[in-house]
Amino acid sequence: MAAEDAQDVYIYIEPEARGHFTERDLIGDRGAVSIRADLSVFNIAGRKVFFRVLAQNYSLEAGLAKNAAYVTRNHIKVKFPIKVRYFKRQIRVNGAVQDIFEPIEAELIIRWTPNQLSISCQETVYFLHFSSAEDLSHKILRRLPVPSAHPLANKDIRALTISRDTPPTRAPNKLIQWVRDKDVEATSHNSAADFYKEVVTLFQSVLDTVKRASAYSAFWDENGKKTPKKESKITPIIHQQLLTLARIKGFEVTHQDTGAGILDFRVGASLSDGKKTFVCIECKHAHSRRLEHGLTVQLPEYMRQRECEFGLYCVFWFKGPDFPNPKKFSNPDNMMEYLNYVKYEEGLHNIRVLPLDLSYPEPPSVVVSGDQDQRPSWATPENVFLVDYFGMMPQEHVYYQRLNKGIELGLS
C-alpha cells in the first residue's frame, strides 16, 4: 500500500476489547459488536470510545457519552439513553428485613447495515422464587440458581432497540485492503491481549480467503449428496491456509496439539519482553451434539492444562439449501448470540466464539434485496409476555423469554 493511501485509513479499538472484536469486525457494510456489563458501568458522565473507523468520505464510531450509548456513521447518530436500574430484594439480617439493590446486567449490541444504524440493550432478568410461606407473606424474593447444564433456563431478556434509517452507505473497499495488508505484516506484541487480537484476526482471514476464492467445496463431501466434511478433515485444510500468514507474523501454529488432551490448534509467539504466550483454539461443527460442551468444558480445560489466558472457539456453519442442520438456529448470528450468553454464564470472558460460515452462498441473482429480519429465533411474538416481579419492574415492559433446547420454559 502506498504511504499516502495508508494515511487515509485509521481504526481504533478500545484496548480492553481487543480480541473480543477486531478490525475485521468493523470494516464490512454490515456488522455488530456487543459489550456486556452491569448498567452502572455503562452509565458514565464522561466519554468512552469503543471503536472508531476513519477512511476517505467514511466514518463509523461507537461508545458512551453523557449517560448514553451512541453510534455514528458519516455524521448520522443514534443515541440510546442509559439509566441504571436495580433489582430490589430483601434478606434477613439478625432477624430484621433489609433491602438489597443489585444493578441489572445488560448487553449493548451496536449494529449497522447499509440502510440503518441501531443500538439494542438487552437486560438480563433472573427468575425469582419464594423459599417459604413466611417469605411469601413478606414478599421476600430469592434468586433461583442457574444450573450449569441449562445456563439460560432461568432467565428472561428485556430487549429495547433504538434505530435510525440512513441513506445507503457502504464501507469503502480500501478498508478491506488495509486489513488484508496488515495480515501480511510482521507485528510485535506488548501483551497477551495484543497477541490474542492478532490470532483472532488470523482465523478470520481463513473465511476471507474462502470467500474470495469461492473455495467452499473444499469443506464439503459431494458424492451425489452434499454433506459437510468431518471436523478432523476440515482442521488440516484450515491449518494449511494459516501457515503462510503465521510464518510472516512469526507465529508458531501447532495443529492437533497433544500436550494434554488433543487440542485442535495452539498458536504461540514471543512478546516484546521475550516471554512466550499462547492461545488455544477448539473447533466444532454447529450441528454437533457437543456444541455447548466444547465451549464450556473442553476448551476451558485445554486452556487450564496449557496455562493459556485466552481461547478461541471456532464453529463451522453449513446450514443452507444443501444441509438442514442445526435446526436449533436459523443463522450463524443467532447461534453466536446464544453461545455468548452461555459463555458469560459460565464466566468464560476470555473466550471468543467465532462462526465460520462455510455454507454455499446464494448467487447474487437470487438474493432478496432489502434488510432481512435479524431477530434471534427466541424473540418472536409467541415468546413475548409481561412480568411484574411484585412491582419491581413496570408491567408495561415487554420481556422476551429465552428458549432452552426448543422447550418453552414457564415462570413456575
Within-domain flag for 11: yes
As for how many domains the chain has, the answer is: 2
CATH number of domain containing 277: 3.40.1350
Structural domain range at position 141: 3-165
Within-domain flag for 192: yes
Within-domain flag for 374: no
Question: Is residue 80 located within the same domain as residue 225?
Answer: no
Within-domain flag for 396: no
Question: Is residue 64 located within the same domain as residue 99?
Answer: yes
Within-domain flag for 284: yes
Question: Is residue 191 located within the same domain as residue 304?
Answer: yes
Within-domain flag for 134: yes
Question: Is residue 86 located within the same domain as residue 123?
Answer: yes
pLDDT digits (tens, 9 = 90+) for 29-49: 888 888 888 777 787 777 889
Question: Is residue 158 located within the same domain as residue 192?
Answer: no
Residue 403 is predicted with a pLDDT of: 32
Residue that the C-alpha cell 495508508 belongs to = 6
Question: Is residue 199 located within the same domain as residue 158?
Answer: no
Show the low-confidence residues of the chain (pLDDT under 70): 1-7, 19, 86-90, 124-158, 259-260, 363-412
Domain boundary among 349, 366, 383: 366
Within-domain flag for 225: yes
Within-domain flag for 379: no
Question: Is residue 206 located within the same domain as residue 353?
Answer: yes
Question: Is residue 96 located within the same domain as residue 217?
Answer: no
Residue 389 is predicted with a pLDDT of: 34
Residue 157 is predicted with a pLDDT of: 61
Question: Is residue 136 located within the same domain as residue 260?
Answer: no
Question: Is residue 218 located within the same domain as residue 318?
Answer: yes
SS3 per-residue string spanning the chain: CCHHHHCCCEEEECHHHECCECHHHHCCCCEEEEEEEEHHHHCCCCEEEEEEEEECCEEEEEEEECCEEEEEECCEEEEEECCCCEEEEEEEECCEEEEEEEECEEEEEEEEECCEEEEEEEEEEECEECCCHHHHHCCCCEECCCCCCCCCCCEEEEEEEEEEECCCCCCCHHHHHHHHHHHCCCCCCCCHHHHHHHHHHHHHHHHHHHHHHCCHHHHEEEECEEEECCHHHHHHHHHHHHHHHHHHHCCEEEEEECCCCCEEEEEEEECCCCCEEEEEEEEEECCCCCHHHHHHHHHHHHHHHHCCCEEEEEEEECCECCECCCCCCCCHHHHHHHHHHHHHHCCCCCEEEEEEECCCCCCHHHCCCCCCCCCCCCCCHHHEEECCHHHCCCCCCEEEECEECCEECCCC
Residue 397 is predicted with a pLDDT of: 31
Domain boundary among 131, 165, 199: 165
Residue 232 is predicted with a pLDDT of: 92
Question: Is residue 111 located within the same domain as residue 193?
Answer: no
Q: Are 162 and 118 in contact (CB under 8 A)?
A: yes
Question: Is residue 156 located within the same domain as residue 192?
Answer: no
Rounded distance, CA 296 to CA 282, Å?
11
- Model-level pTM? 0.76
